[in-house]
Amino acid sequence: MTKTTAGTRTGNSGRTAWTDKLERELTLVHRVPRDLVNRVLGEVAEAVTETGESAEELFGPAKEYATAVATERVDPRHRSTRDLEGRAPFTHFQQGMVAGSIAILIMAAVWTFGYKGHSGALVLLASFSATVFVAATFAVLPALRAAGRTRTAWLFGSGAGVIAAASIGSALLPAVREAHSFPFPPSAAFGFALLLATLGLAIPERIVSRWFSPSEGRRLDDEQWLRRLGELLYGRHGFPRHTAQQHVTEAREHLAATGRAAQQELGQVEIYAMNLTDGPVRERNRIRRRFLGALSFTAVMAVLLTVKLTDSDSGGAPPWVPAAALVYNGALAATCLRKMRAR
């Protein structure tokens, strides 16, 4: 009988659950370039064939081996542009715009059946404000955070909130609410969705990268370097703010002791920040960020559910939608909290 990883079976292609997991970890978690993934899988298959041992016996757990490959064999300049999820700002922007377009289409379906009898002008204003929020939530804010530009993210988020609030405020004006009612035009939402998807897929990576990371790889003076270090540790790599500032203070003291320039002594700031997160720290920060995200979304869903239950004329999605999202994200937050305590 052919020897395979314990608890797995070899398929017709000779692949095992171990190699499938390795490929998923390399591709989805660490975002390793495809040509390197193919080389690693080929090396594993060759070693298994030559020795007759299972891949797990030769290389250890797939997750740990994927981490080792990503750390030791991927160009540091490539890895340093990735955040805790292994994604660059461009990836967040592109995937977020496409996901946002899908969300807009789903909301359009809800509005089409949930806002019957409402003013078409009101619904169009609501759809516009929703589009602004969706683009900010799915694409721009994650991209800015991955770029380490948290202050800009806050400013952008505040601006998006003002625009959406202004749209909602306009929709509540008597002239708009009492305007002639007409069915919600799905073509309007389709247009918004198409615009988001087109922007996400059509804009070249170099342009998007220039938007979100204008200083990436450039030569910085000491104060710029130290400020950028704090931004990257807090935004891109998920350190708590006080921990990020501790690393900045340590770097500042080291430079004062040596008398050398930051870039000369410590190298490119993106690579230096990345090196501080290698090892167990990265996984701990990833779990912490997922916990905070799930907790925030749980709070939002709790507010929406409360509004639904207290205002039967609020329209839109039925109460079970925020209720289901509340339960799911609450469970996710609890799971992340258990993992954090276990570490």
User: Using one digit for the tens of pLDDT, what is the confidence trace for 89-123?
Assistant: 988 898 888 888 887 777 767 666 655 555 555 55
Whether residue 251 contacts residue 226, with contact meaning beta carbons closer than 8 Å, is answered with yes
Q: How far is CA 155 from CA 29, 141, 186, in A?
A: 29, 10, 32
Tell me the pLDDT of the chain (343 aa) as tens digits.
344 433 344 443 446 889 999 998 888 777 788 899 999 999 999 999 999 998 889 999 998 898 889 888 888 888 888 888 878 898 889 888 888 888 777 776 766 665 555 555 555 666 666 677 777 778 888 899 889 888 888 888 788 777 767 766 665 666 655 555 555 556 666 777 888 888 888 988 888 888 888 777 678 899 999 999 999 999 999 999 999 999 999 999 999 999 999 989 999 999 999 999 877 888 888 889 889 888 988 888 888 788 777 766 555 567 787 888 889 989 998 998 888 887 6
Q: How many CA atoms lie within 13 A of 31 on its CB side?
A: 17
Confidence at residue 171, expressed as pLDDT on a 0 to 100 scale: 58
